[in-house]
Amino acid sequence: MYWDKQYKNNARLWGKTPSVLALAAVKYLQEHKPPAEVPGILDIGCGYGRDAFYLSEHLKCTVFGIDISEKAIEMAKKYCRQAPRVKFRRCGFTELTEGGFDIVFLSNFYQLLKKEERAGLLRTIRNVLKPNGLLFLSTLSNRDPEHFGKGIPVPNEKNSFIESVYLHFCEQSELEKDFSFLTIEELYEYEYFEPRATGETHHHISWILIGKNA
């Protein structure tokens, strides 16, 4: 599996610091919700847990992280003994049996899903997010300077390419349509530089979306 190999070769590929979305989520929640109203977060595509630990520590809440990479979950569980409010499981979002989450968190995961998989994820979010629950999502923009337009274009799929992996790049109108079942509280592009364990630094432009379940 591609991601198992990446984590095996590069360990904490994106370092120990939280993602841009985790920083944005904590800032938003600290400004809009008292701690007692953030009891449960589902982190889909959690990797080795860098965001799960950050969210739990700064929001004093429980976090349930899932990922299909066995190596990523192995790494996450190695460190979760120090964070009793954080739990991890190796599974895909279609295998979830739990529901009723106050927050669904998706950092740089949506972009990895093919069209039919994105549709499946939207169904999962509908099923697991509580009324008045919040979605925090980041995903690559079609203005991303690092990867957009590179690799092989995917037939009959606008803004999708296969380089080392499949990547889909979103436009604003697409996100507004896909997440129209939510009230979109915030939707904006964010430009940043992302250091990697390999020594490279990637230059990205991503969308950040915050939506509320009506």
Q: What is the pLDDT of residues 152-207, one digit of tens each?
A: 999 999 999 998 899 999 999 999 999 999 999 999 999 998 877 677 888 999 99
Q: Where are the beta strands (DSSP E) in 69-122?
A: 86-90, 101-107
Domain range 2-213, its CATH number among 3.40.50.720, 3.30.1360.200, 3.40.50.150, 3.40.50.620: 3.40.50.150
User: What single-letter amino acid sits at 181?
Assistant: F
Strand-pair partners of 63: 41, 86
Asked if residue 10 lies in contact with residue 193, where contact means CB atoms within 8 angstroms, the answer is: no
Distance, CA of 38 to CA of 60 (rounded, Å):
8
Domains of the chain by residue range: 2-213
The pTM score is 0.91
Check whether 32 has a pLDDT greater than 50.
yes
- Of 6-20, 72-86, 118-132, give the lowest mean pLDDT range: 6-20
Task: Write down the H helix ranges in 145-212.
Answer: 172-178
The contacts of residue 31 (CB under 8 Å, 6+ apart) are none
